[in-house]
């Protein structure tokens, strides 16, 4: 704590106050200052100096508290930089009013009353700050955004990890390592996708379709059932008594489910659904829906690619074919 305060220059500014206070009380007794006018000017300058040191000491204290807060690991869940910036704006705004009131020898309350008449102008000047503060409160209170979240804006202008949340901007590092800055009120007024739920859950979803050529669908013969039971893993317990008329597409869906159930990276405590969709002019879609326990982007893409490579190759083992649009261009 002590080293943080020293590094934040809090004590330095407090020490700077002492010469100003001493000089302020010794001014009436100094022979070098002659005349009431010179005494008044020097006194006001000392007051301005003292107020300036106090402002910078308080500002350094706020920054030190922010560093301590971030060091405790709470920075991701409740970023406080925007709130600290609000206090900094208020601090220097009030300090500026006090300094001006001293220099022109007017009461600070009179200046504040005069500012009330120009509230519309002030709101226009600090529009982004006010909107940013209100939006930041909404984002924080509703736990909509944290540092480290992977977010994707609906307009595609940003897709990456949140690096910083401040009063006026949210800094996002995109996947191509470019940096996007977005006003907080943009995130409140528009839709964006936050992938934190996926990262905190047990797995990351995979949902893809395999399109079969409907011309290759057929009922399985006894010889075909025997071959599948003997040659294809996890298919030995299929019923071949004749009580059920298997089609090759049914067996293929059955195999996909068995393959995923035995896969070590597929989450077994989350949904695993193999379903046949409505036939289209582009074949018969078989939707494969499951979750992978490895949620890291690179590994996730590699694993799901390996899984579907295997499933696509296994299509021919069930006397099926993948649908592929025939090339209508004449061959040369």
Q: Give domain limits for the chain.
A: 2-125, 144-199, 202-318
Per-residue pLDDT at 76 exceeds 60? no
Per-residue pLDDT at 329 exceeds 50? no
Answer whether 144-199 and 202-318 agree in fold.
no
Q: What are the tokens at 242?
A: 């004749």
Of 17-31, 45-59, 284-298, 312-326, minimum mean pLDDT range: 17-31
Q: What is the fold of 144-199? A: SH3 type barrels. (2.30.30)
Q: Which residue has the higher pLDDT, 166 or 317?
A: 317
- Alpha carbon separation from 279 to 216, 267, 286, 292, 311 (Å, rounded): 13, 29, 10, 28, 20
**Strand residues in 242-283 grouped as ranges (E):** 273-276
% of the chain surpassing 90 pLDDT: 30
Share the mean pLDDT of the chain. Answer: 83
Model confidence band, residue 328 (pLDDT cutoffs 50, 70, 90): very low
Per-residue pLDDT at 332 exceeds 60? no
* Dihedral pair phi/psi, residue 141, rounded to 5°: -65, -40
Condensed to tens digits (0 to 9), the pLDDT of residues 99-115 reads 888 888 888 877 777 77
Q: What is the fold of 202-318? A: Alpha-Beta Plaits (3.30.70)
Q: Which residue has the higher pLDDT, 330 or 66?
A: 66
User: What pTM was estimated for this model as a whole?
Assistant: 0.58
Average pLDDT over residues 204-229: 92
Per-residue pLDDT at 285 exceeds 50? yes
* Dihedral pair phi/psi, residue 16, rounded to 5°: -65, -25
**Cα-Cα end-to-end distance for the chain:** 79
Q: What are the tokens at 18?
A: 């002492």
Q: What size, in residues, is the chain?
A: 332
User: Hey, how many other C-beta atoms are within 10 angstroms of the C-beta on 288?
Assistant: 22
């Amino acid at each position: 704590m002590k080293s943080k305060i020293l590094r934040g220059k809090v004590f330095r500014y407090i020490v700077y106050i002492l010469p100003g206070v001493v000089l302020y009380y010794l001014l009436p007794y100094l022979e070098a200052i002659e005349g009431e006018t010179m005494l008044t000017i020097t006194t006001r300058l000392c007051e301005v100096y003292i107020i300036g040191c106090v402002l910078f000491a308080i500002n350094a204290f706020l920054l030190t508290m922010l560093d301590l807060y971030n060091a405790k690991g709470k920075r991701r869940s409740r970023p406080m930089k925007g709130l600290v910036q609000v206090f900094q704006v208020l601090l220097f705004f009030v300090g500026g009013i006090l300094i001006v009131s001293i220099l022109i020898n007017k009461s600070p309350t009179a200046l504040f009353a005069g500012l009330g008449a120009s509230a519309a102008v002030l709101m226009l000047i600090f529009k982004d700050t006010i909107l940013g503060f209100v939006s930041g409160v909404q984002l924080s209170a509703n736990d909509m955004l944290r540092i480290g979240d992977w977010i994707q804006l609906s307009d595609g202008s940003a897709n990456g990890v949140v690096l910083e949340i401040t009063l006026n901007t949210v800094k996002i590092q995109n996947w191509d390592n470019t940096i996007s800055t977005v006003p907080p009120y943009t995130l409140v007024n528009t839709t964006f996708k936050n992938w934190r739920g996926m990262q905190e859950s047990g797995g990351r979803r995979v949902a893809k379709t395999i399109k079969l050529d409907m011309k290759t669908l057929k009922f399985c013969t006894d010889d075909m059932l025997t071959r599948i039971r003997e040659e294809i893993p996890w298919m030995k317990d299929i019923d071949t008594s004749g009580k059920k008329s298997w089609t090759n597409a049914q067996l293929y869906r059955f195999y996909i489910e068995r393959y995923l159930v035995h896969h070590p990276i597929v989450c077994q405590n989350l949904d695993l659904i193999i379903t046949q969709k409505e036939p289209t002019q582009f074949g018969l879609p078989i939707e494969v829906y499951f979750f992978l326990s490895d949620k890291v982007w690179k590994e996730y893409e590699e694993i799901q690619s390996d899984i579907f490579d295997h499933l696509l190759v296994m299509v021919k083992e069930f006397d099926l074919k993948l649908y592929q649009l025939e090339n209508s261009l004449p061959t040369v």
